[in-house]
């Protein structure tokens, strides 16, 4: 039992001086085995990390593409016609009529729009001079346009003598500016899923000439839409 008793001495004291000593090899083997094991675990964890990150990236890209293609666009409103009759008459307010034609376009490819009751109100200098229902709950399919026309008169039109004078005064300068506001609560339908309700307003400023007809500068304009 001579040599075994020497081994620990080499091992602990001067292993460098005996590079070929069995203890050194034993130590190195364990050392390298450890290192190999260690680098294997780092490689495996690096691989798992890489796979995980790639998965995250792929999921992110898919979500982004889905979001791009499913993102609902608000409906687009346009004002095409707006006529105030009797504008040249001094007592025109008694028989006045406002007729308008606007459209609501659903420009989404796959998304439908539900409108709850829709109404149109006409403002003159930020005062409401008339209001009328336009639609009574309506589903507008993708890529379709709904024509919204109405005539306001009598009970739905609220113009008194004084306001009519104001309007007539402005008319004598050549242009009268009104504002048509279309309001509705809307929901988006994405395949079988319905979004929550949003209160939507479309604001169409309209300039009318002295003949009571919409001016070309206001015709077919897109009306800004906002939600409240």
Q: What is the closest distance, in whole angstroms, from the C-beta atom of residue 103 to ligand NAG in the complex? A: 6
Q: What is the closest distance, in whole angstroms, from the C-beta atom of residue 148 to ligand NAG in the complex? A: 8
Of 110 and 149, the one with the shorter C-beta distance to ligand NAG is: 149
Cα separation, 72 vs 52, in Å, equals: 31
Assess contact for 115 and 184: CB atoms under 8 A: yes
Query: Would you give the DSSP letter of residue 85?
Result: E
Cα separation, 109 vs 116, in Å, equals: 21
Of 81 and 116, the one with the shorter C-beta distance to ligand NAG is: 81
The residues of the shown chain that bind ligand NAG, judged by CB under 6 A, are: 80, 101, 103, 147, 149
Q: What is the closest distance, in whole angstroms, from the C-beta atom of residue 99 to ligand NAG in the complex? A: 9
Assess contact for 178 and 124: CB atoms under 8 A: yes
Assess contact for 189 and 113: CB atoms under 8 A: yes
Q: What is the closest distance, in whole angstroms, from the C-beta atom of residue 78 to ligand NAG in the complex? A: 8
Of 79 and 157, the one with the shorter C-beta distance to ligand NAG is: 79
Of 102 and 200, the one with the shorter C-beta distance to ligand NAG is: 102
Cα separation, 135 vs 169, in Å, equals: 34
Residue with the shortest CB distance to ligand NAG: 101
Other Cβ atoms less than 10 A from the Cβ of 74: the count is 17
Q: Buried b / exposed e across 105-139, counting CB within 10 Å, b at 16+? A: bbebeebbbbbeebebbbbbeeeebbbbebbeebe
Of 88 and 149, the one with the shorter C-beta distance to ligand NAG is: 149
The two structure tokens encoding residue 109: 């490819």
Of 106 and 188, the one with the shorter C-beta distance to ligand NAG is: 106
Q: Could you tell me where the DSSP H helices lie in the chain?
A: 2-12, 22-70, 161-172
């Amino acid at each position: 039992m001579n040599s075994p008793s020497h081994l620990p001495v080499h091992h602990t004291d001067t292993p460098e001086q005996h590079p070929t000593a069995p203890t050194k090899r034993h130590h190195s083997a364990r050392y390298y085995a450890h290192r190999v094991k260690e680098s294997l675990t780092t490689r495996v964890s690096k691989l798992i990390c890489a796979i995980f990150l790639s998965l995250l990236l792929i999921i992110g890209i898919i979500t982004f593409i889905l979001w791009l293609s499913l993102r609902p666009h608000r409906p687009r409103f346009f004002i095409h016609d707006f006529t105030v009759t009797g504008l040249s008459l001094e007592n025109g307010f008694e028989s006045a009529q406002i007729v308008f034609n606007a459209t609501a376009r659903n420009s989404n490819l796959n998304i439908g729009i539900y409108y709850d009751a829709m109404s149109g109100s006409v403002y003159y200098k930020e005062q409401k001079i008339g209001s009328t229902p336009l639609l009574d709950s309506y589903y507008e399919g993708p890529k379709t346009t709904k024509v919204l026309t109405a005539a306001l008169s009598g009970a739905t039109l609220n113009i008194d003598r004084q306001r009519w004078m104001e309007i007539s005064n402005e008319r004598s300068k050549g242009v009268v500016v009104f504002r048509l506001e279309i309001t509705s609560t809307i929901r988006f339908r994405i395949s079988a899923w319905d979004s929550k309700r949003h209160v939507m307003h479309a604001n169409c400023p309209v300039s009318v000439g002295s003949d009571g007809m919409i001016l070309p500068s206001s015709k077919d304009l897109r009306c800004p839409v906002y939600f409240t």
